[in-house]
């Protein structure tokens, strides 16, 4: 699969993106890495330009919930991107792991997978992408 990997609008961290890029490439995916501090507008433009099979958003700064909500809403507002699979993960809240209400709002907005920042979440990302590619993880 072609995966568009991106940080969120307010997150300037990069090592998480490097690690995720390697994780995805080791599983055979073609990765288009946008880098940190990607606005919803830039994300939608990159999705139109690169036509990925899925989008993976990563956050470390604790504002992933708010930023991912804006990003996925922007993607879902574009008819040609409305069905594009989107996974978000990392540190999504400043108080630690996001709660059920935040997860529900992200899903309602259009996130197909909402993950945390643990080892199990990384494996869950692999399973999520494998399911979209039609292969067993």
Range with lowest mean pLDDT among 33-37, 75-79, 114-118: 114-118
Burial of 136 (0-12, 13-18, 19+ CB in 10 A): exposed
Indicate whether this model's pTM tops 0.75.
yes
Give residue-wise pLDDT tens across range 53-105: 999 999 998 888 899 999 999 999 999 999 999 999 998 887 755 578 888 99
Distance CA 78, CA 44 (A): 8
Distance CA 132, CA 3 (A): 11
For residues 3 and 32, the answer to whether their CB atoms sit within 8 Å is yes
Calculated CA dihedral for residues 46, 42, 10, 119, nearest 10 degrees: -10
């Amino acid at each position: 699969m072609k995966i568009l990997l991106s940080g969120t609008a307010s997150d300037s961290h990069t090592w998480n993106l490097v690690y995720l890029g390697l994780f995805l490439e080791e599983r055979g995916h073609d990765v288009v890495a946008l880098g940190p501090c990607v606005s919803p507008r830039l994300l939608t433009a990159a999705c139109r330009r690169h036509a990925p099979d899925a989008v993976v958003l990563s956050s470390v700064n604790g504002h992933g919930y708010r930023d991912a909500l804006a990003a996925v809403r922007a993607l879902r507002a574009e008819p040609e991107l409305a069905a594009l699979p989107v996974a978000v993960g990392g540190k999504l809240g400043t108080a630690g792991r996001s709660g059920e209400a935040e997860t529900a709002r992200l899903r309602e907005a259009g996130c197909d997978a909402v993950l945390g920042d643990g080892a199990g979440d990384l494996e869950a990302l692999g399973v999520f992408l494998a399911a979209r590619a039609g292969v067993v993880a």
